[in-house]
């Protein structure tokens, strides 16, 4: 919302709410709800001027009250102006005091802000009462009491608004952070295969150069083998640049932040819930994390657990159960992902960590899955100096246990 709209909407709200009023303790001076709204808008909107808002409110209140009085009461316009102009003076006085005191500067100080708003309200009301020639000691007491009450209500609403705003910002931050973790973990998965490809390229380049050395006396083969070596060398340089770029990117993220295991749990919950909704599955998920350690290498953990949970979801039907647990001993952190899904045939268990091995097929296209999920997890576990165990029974379920040295994750 731009600044002009804020002025207009705030002014209209104050003007119409000013027609909701009361006479406390049977006094003859009326007090409107509009002032609570004015206090609130001054606290919420940092970029608007207290004086400009109060002046615009004074004119709107004066105009609306004149229209209503002339329309619904048997008095002339001149009488209406004389009746309502002190209210306009009230708002102008309010704005001048709020602007002079700079009420927005220390608005996070609860006691100070409430007292200052009450002071501004009271002085402005006393000014209005003097113009109306309706002032007394008892009236001043009522004015101060009403000023404190309206200021307290306005600040309470402002405090609640800020709490809600902070909650929404935290939820949005959590959502973006979850998405970022998913992106980073996917990049990490590709990194393992980039590194493997680098080794393969180096082997091919070495072999092509050996061919060149072997057949350098043959002019035709010499030129062909040399060209192959050159082309492979160019491919290697391109791969190297890409690999170093990704490594630098990941290094910046991993060095700049840490995450508790509890935070990892929140992100996993969020991702799992979204994945289940996208795939229209009704599977029960149980998560139980015992430790509150701060992790440095949390992207690796997130990547492993995310892959394992998705595999379990794919193996489960509606009303099946997936349990994710975490516990530790002096040296290791343990993570278990177990499910009551379809299980894995004993005959194929020895092959499930082989790159490219898969039993999954897209029902719509018949296309096989990539088969890199479990091999990727195994690569990460080995890179962290840990180990992975799997137990599965067909039509009973699967349990996969990761044991990772604490020093590998904590850093």
CB-based contacts of 130: which residues, under 8 Å, 6+ apart?
none
Distance between CA atoms of 239 and 128, rounded to whole angstroms? 78
Q: Which two tokens stand for residue 18?
A: 């000013």
The CA distances from residue 258 to 194, 273, 327, in Å, are 26, 24, 19
Question: What letter would DSSP give residue 18?
Answer: T
- Please report where in the chains the tokens 């609130």 appear, as a residue: 40
DSSP output for 167-179: HHHHHHHHHHHHH
Domain spanning 259-410, CATH class:
alpha beta
Distance CA 104, CA 38 (A): 13
For the record, the structure tokens of 59 come out as 């004119």
pLDDT of 360: 55
The CA distance from 316 to 338, in Å, is: 11
pLDDT score recorded for residue 292: 83
What is the reported pLDDT for 253? 54
Given a contact cutoff of 8 angstroms between Cβ atoms, the answer to whether 311 and 373 are in contact is: yes
> Count of CB atoms within 10 A of residue 286's CB?
10
Q: What is the largest CA-CA distance in the chain?
A: 118
**Residue 397 confidence (pLDDT):** 92
Per-residue pLDDT of the chain (411 residues; tens, 9 = 90+): 678 888 898 999 998 888 887 777 666 667 788 899 999 999 888 888 889 999 999 999 989 888 888 888 778 888 888 888 888 999 999 999 999 988 888 888 889 999 999 999 999 989 988 998 878 888 888 889 988 999 999 999 988 888 887 777 666 666 666 666 666 666 665 665 566 677 677 778 787 778 878 877 777 777 777 788 778 777 877 777 777 777 666 665 554 567 788 877 877 887 788 788 888 889 999 988 888 888 887 777 887 888 899 889 988 999 899 999 999 998 999 999 999 999 888 888 888 877 655 655 455 544 444 445 688 788 888 889 999 999 998 889 999 999 999 998 887
Q: Are residues 301 and 264 in contact, defined by beta-carbon separation less than 8 angstroms?
A: yes
What strands lie across the sheet with 321-328, from one edge to the other? 284-289, 321-328, 332-339, 397-405, 387-393
Give the pLDDT score at 30.
Answer: 72
Distance between CA atoms of 169 and 128, rounded to whole angstroms? 42
Give CA torsion, residues 40, 45, 49, 54, to 10 deg: -30
Q: Are strands 259-260 and 31-32 parallel, antiparallel or unpaired?
A: unpaired
* Residue 404 β-bridge partners: 333
Strands 294-295 and 332-339, bridge-based pairing: unpaired
Rounded Cα distance between 292 and 141, Å, is 55
Nearest to residue 98, comparing CAs of 123, 126, 117, 71? 117
Q: Are 80 and 61 in contact (CB under 8 A)?
A: no
d(Cα 325, Cα 332) in Å, to the nearest integer? 14
* Length of the chain as a residue count: 411
Question: In Å, what is the CA distance from 272 to each residue of 191, 261, 290, 310?
Answer: 24, 16, 20, 8
d(CA 348, CA 355): 14
Count CB-CB contacts under 10 A for residue 284. 12
Q: What's residue 255's pLDDT? A: 46
pLDDT digits (tens, 9 = 90+) for 333-345: 999 999 999 988 8
Residues 6+ apart with CB under 8 A from 230: none
pLDDT of residue 379: 83
Q: Top-level CATH class of 3-169?
A: mainly alpha
- Cβ pair 56, 68 in contact under 8 A: no
Domains of the chain by residue range: 3-169, 180-256, 259-410
200: its two tokens: 């393969």
Of 163, 165, 160, 149, whose CA–CA distance to 114 is shortest?
149
Whole-structure pTM value: 0.47
């Amino acid at each position: 919302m731009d600044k002009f709209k804020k002025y207009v909407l705030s002014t209209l709200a104050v003007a119409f709410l000013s027609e909701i009023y009361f006479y406390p303790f049977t006094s003859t001076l009326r007090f409107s709800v509009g002032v609570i709204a004015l206090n609130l808008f001054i606290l919420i909107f940092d970029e608007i001027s207290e004086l400009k808002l109060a002046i615009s409110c004074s004119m709107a209140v004066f105009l609306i009250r004149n229209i209503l009085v002339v329309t619904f009461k048997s008095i002339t316009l001149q009488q209406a102006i004389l009746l309502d102009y002190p209210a306009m003076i009230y708002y102008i006085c309010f704005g001048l005091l709020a602007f002079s005191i700079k009420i927005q500067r220390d608005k996070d100080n609860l006691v100070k802000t409430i007292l200052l708003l009450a002071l501004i309200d009271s002085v402005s009301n006393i000014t209005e009462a003097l113009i109306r020639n309706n002032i007394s000691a008892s009236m001043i007491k009522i004015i101060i009491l009403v000023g404190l009450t309206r200021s307290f209500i306005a600040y309470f609403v402002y405090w609640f608004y800020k709490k809600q705003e902070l909650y929404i910002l935290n939820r949005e931050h959590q959502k973006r952070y979850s998405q970022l973790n998913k992106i980073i973990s996917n990049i990490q998965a590709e990194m393992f295969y980039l590194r493997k490809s680098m080794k393969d390229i180096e082997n091919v380049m070495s072999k092509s150069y050996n061919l060149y050395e072997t057949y350098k006396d043959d002019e035709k083969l010499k030129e062909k083998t040399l060209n192959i070596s050159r082309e492979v060398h160019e491919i290697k340089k391109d791969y190297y640049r890409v690999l170093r770029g990704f490594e630098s990117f990941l290094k910046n993220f991993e060095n700049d932040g840490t995450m508790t295991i509890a935070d990892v749990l929140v992100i996993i919950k969020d991702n799992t819930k979204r994945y289940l909704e996208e795939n229209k599955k009704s599977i029960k998920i149980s998560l139980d994390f015992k430790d509150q350690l701060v992790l440095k290498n949390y992207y690796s953990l997130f990547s492993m657990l995310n892959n394992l949970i998705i595999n379990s979801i794919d193996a489960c039907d509606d009303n099946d159960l997936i349990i994710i647990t975490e516990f530790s001993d002096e040296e290791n952190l343990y993570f278990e992902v177990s499910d009551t899904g379809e299980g894995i045939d004993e005959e194929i268990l020895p092959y499930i960590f082989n790159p490219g091995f898969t039993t999954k097929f897209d029902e719509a296209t018949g296309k096989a899955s990539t088969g890199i999920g479990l091999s990727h997890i195994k690569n990460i576990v080995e890179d962290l100096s840990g180990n992975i165990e799997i137990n599965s029974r067909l039509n009973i379920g699967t349990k996969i246990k990761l044991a990772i040295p604490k020093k590998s994750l904590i850093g």
